[in-house]
Structure 1
Amino acid sequence: MKNYKITIEYEGTDFCGWQIQAKSKTIQEELQKAIKTILREEVNLIGAGRTDSGVHALGQTANFRYTGEIDMGKFIYSVNAILPRGIAISRGEEVLPEFHARFDAKKRVYLYIITNKKSPFYWKYSYFYNKEVDVRLLNEFCKEIVGKRDFRSFAKEPEENQGTDCAIHSAHWRITGDFTIFSIEANRFLRGMVRTIVGTLLEMERKRMNRDYLSEIIEKRERESAGMAVPPQGLFLYKVRY
């Protein structure tokens, strides 16, 4: 069997996340149904990251195995034609038989977008945060989370036997037009981790707290010690690096 990798974009508002769930509309299920229709064969689609309900993606990656040859241009055109309008395959290629979209991923990059400008065109893709933020202070806080740390305090219940250590390679804030964008890159992320980090950083900035407080949160290893998670609509899986 041949192994194929695809890159996917999706607007997560109307979906209950990536992973297939009983009686819920998910990205993985919609893609598998569309691919089966075109290839006339069941496929098991393996995603690089399992995004939560309402979260978007600009560069989700997945792989599947298929018994025949695929003309990738025709395949992408045909699958996109029958997918819901909130999902699209942007690229595809044949890869080595042993390639695994999740386990071979070296780094994942997420973006979180906030804005203090109310607009009917922004609400689906950003968190309306009705105040200006001090980006310099937020970036000072980010220095405390870069590196290999135990991020149990920022996660929902972790998966069994997976551990809670993550290596964050970079984290920073920037202002672009009406938006303030948080970018974070790590080898892996725990469930709910990015949104809780953002919520905690914003709370600390609002209260003008000392950045050492982040180390205290990390050391406690208790979800209750961190701030509230921000809403899902501002979060994007931006890129997966191999």
Structure 2
Amino acid sequence: MRNIRLIISYDGTNFHGFQTQPKLRTVQGQLQEAIEQLTGEYVQVIGSGRTDAGVHAEGQVANFHTSSKIPVDKWPHALNAVLPDDLVVRAAREVSPTFHARFDAKGKIYRYQIDRSVFPDVFVRRYAWHVSYPLDVGKMAQAASHMVGCHDFTSFCNAATPLEDRRRHVTDIRISEAGHLLHVTVSGKGFLWNMVRIMAGTLVDVGKGRIMPDEIPTIIHAQDRTYAGVTAPAHGLTLVQVEYED
């Protein structure tokens, strides 16, 4: 059996997340159907993580095992010929049989995009959260600096998160401006359910003056979801890159 690693991009607008769900359109389901259509095999596609409904990806990574003899450089062309327009395979590589897209990931980079124009920009409405209220970017950057490091991020994850260990290591948060768009780029070794969206929502609350930058350590130490800000909408979030040893 060969192990094929894919780098994929998708517009998450019309997907119910990455993971397969009965009778729902998902990224994993579409990939598995496409591979079966090409090879006649039912395979399990393993993703680096389970993006939520509405979340996008530029560099999601997935792998699957197959006995097909399709040359590795032909896989992107073959899959893109049968995949829908909102899901594209950007690259394929044959890897070690033991490679696992999720367990071997060493880090991820997410970008949250905010549209700060007075009226919504129709051309980014699917990929940015429209916030017309003036934001203090300097204070947002100050607040973000408190989030960097290894912390228990219970205050910044969905209250229904089943994991007991909620410590995560955020290696970097950068806030950059591109015209009326504001980018919050978060890098880390792993993230909890809704974590980046709650971080982004909290930073927007800081930008509005509802939360002070020096309140962030208190929010983290509280380990209580009710202390943090709003959960930013899913459509503003994009998985940019997944990092591996190689």
TM-score (norm 1): 0.96
Q: CA–CA distance in 1 between the matches of 2:194 and 2:210? A: 24
Alpha-carbon contact 2:73-2:93 (below 8 Å) kept: no
Q: CA–CA distance in 2 between the matches of 1:123 and 1:22? A: 29
Q: Once the 2 structures are TM-superposed, how far is the Cα of residue 97 of structure 1 from its aligned partner? A: 1.3
Partner letter of residue 78 of structure 1?
A
Alpha-carbon contact 1:80-1:88 (below 8 Å) kept: yes
Aligned residues, how many? 241
Partner of 1:136: 138
Partner of 1:31: 31
Partner letter of residue 81 of structure 2?
A
Partner letter of residue 204 of structure 1?
V
Q: Would you say 1:159 and 2:162 are equivalent positions?
A: yes
Partner of 1:91: 91
Deviation per residue, 1:178-221 (Å, 9 max, x gap): 31100000000101011111111111221164323111111111
Partner letter of residue 215 of structure 2?
Y
Q: CA–CA distance in 2 between the matches of 1:24 and 1:50? A: 15
Q: Would you say 1:190 and 2:192 are equivalent positions?
A: yes
Deviation per residue, 1:65-84 (Å, 9 max, x gap): 11233313322112111111
Structure 2 unaligned runs (5+)? none
Partner letter of residue 21 of structure 1?
Q
Alpha-carbon contact 1:38-1:75 (below 8 Å) kept: no
In structure 1, the residue corresponding to 2:146 is in which secondary structure? coil
Pairs within 5 Å for 1:115-134: 115-117=115-117, 118-134=120-136
Q: CA–CA distance in 2 between the matches of 1:216 and 1:5? A: 42
Partner of 1:210: 212
- Provide the identity percentage: 36
Partner of 1:8: 8
Structure 1 unaligned runs (5+)? none
Deviation per residue, 1:141-174 (Å, 9 max, x gap): 111010000001111122345x211100000100
* Displacement over 4 Å in runs of 4+: none
Q: Once the 2 structures are TM-superposed, how far is the Cα of residue 92 of structure 1 from its aligned partner? A: 0.6
Partner of 2:19: 19
Q: CA–CA distance in 2 between the matches of 1:95 and 1:135? A: 43
